[in-house]
Amino acid sequence: MRRARAAGFTLIELLVVIFIIGLVATGAFLSLGGNGRDSQLEQERDRLSGLIDYVRERAALQTVEYGLRFQQDGYQFVMYDSRQDQWTLDPLDDTLRARALPAGLDFQLKVEDKAIVLPQRPAPGSAAAKAADAATAALKAASATPATTLNAAIASAASAASTAGSSMNVPTIDATARTAIDLTPQVMLFSNGDVTSFKLTLERAASGRSALISSTPANKIEVNAIVEPVP
């Protein structure tokens, strides 16, 4: 009797397992929507395509070149500062801030029909992540020459890494900071209306659903419907 009791499950344990399963199922149901649609995927597709249209209008009005830089789990819009001769963040429009994709979604990018390997965001809380955040903050605040901007970013990155207890040496800090402030976009959004030829697939690997955003030879942006997985 004692052996059987030790090997079995109590009613409370079974209820806890059922409760956890219910939470997981509810989360999946809300993500896909009540009618089986992946509402989260649709929302991210529509948000990104809407932002691209907005930035293209902004580029034309300001006669400023913009670009779109992707990472594996997010993206951000950048602008070309002709005075500093470098790509930088737009300090006046928070709409163009860096955005992260919800968990479970990722990008596949092709530019000029060539697959692009997207950089990976540093792990949250790591020294590299702190260095990247510090460098980004330095870029936003900087209004001097390119050299001054770079030095400020490196100094901030070094301070952040030191605070985090990192054992990285100065050359490594420099490389980390320089990587953090490399905002060269993969997709160009020119002020004259031209756009880089690209195909961006936003997908949910777990379900096989995907959505395609692409440019056309006429410099239009096409947004395709959600592609359902083949049964």
Asked if 183 and 78 touch (Cβ cutoff 8 Å), the reply is: yes
22: Cβ contacts below 8 Å, ≥ 6 apart: none
Q: What is the pLDDT of residue 144?
A: 41
Q: What is the pLDDT of residue 62?
A: 92
Model pLDDT, residue 172: 41
Query: Which pLDDT score, from 0 to 100, does residue 135 have?
Result: 56
Q: Average pLDDT for residues 63-76, to the nearest whole number? A: 92
For residue 85, what pLDDT is reported? 85
Summarize pLDDT for 89-100 with one digit per residue, the tens. 888 888 898 899
| pLDDT on residue 37 | 78
Average pLDDT over the chain reads 76
Q: Does domain 39-223 have CATH number 3.40.50.720?
A: no
- Cα radius of gyration (the chain): 23
Calpha distance 152→163 (Å, rounded): 17
Cα 19 to chain centroid distance, Å, stands at 33
- pLDDT for 12-49, tens place per residue? 777 777 877 766 655 555 444 444 678 899 999 999 99
Give yes or no for residue 154 having a pLDDT over 60: no
Q: How confident is the model at residue 148 (pLDDT cuts 50, 70, 90)?
A: very low
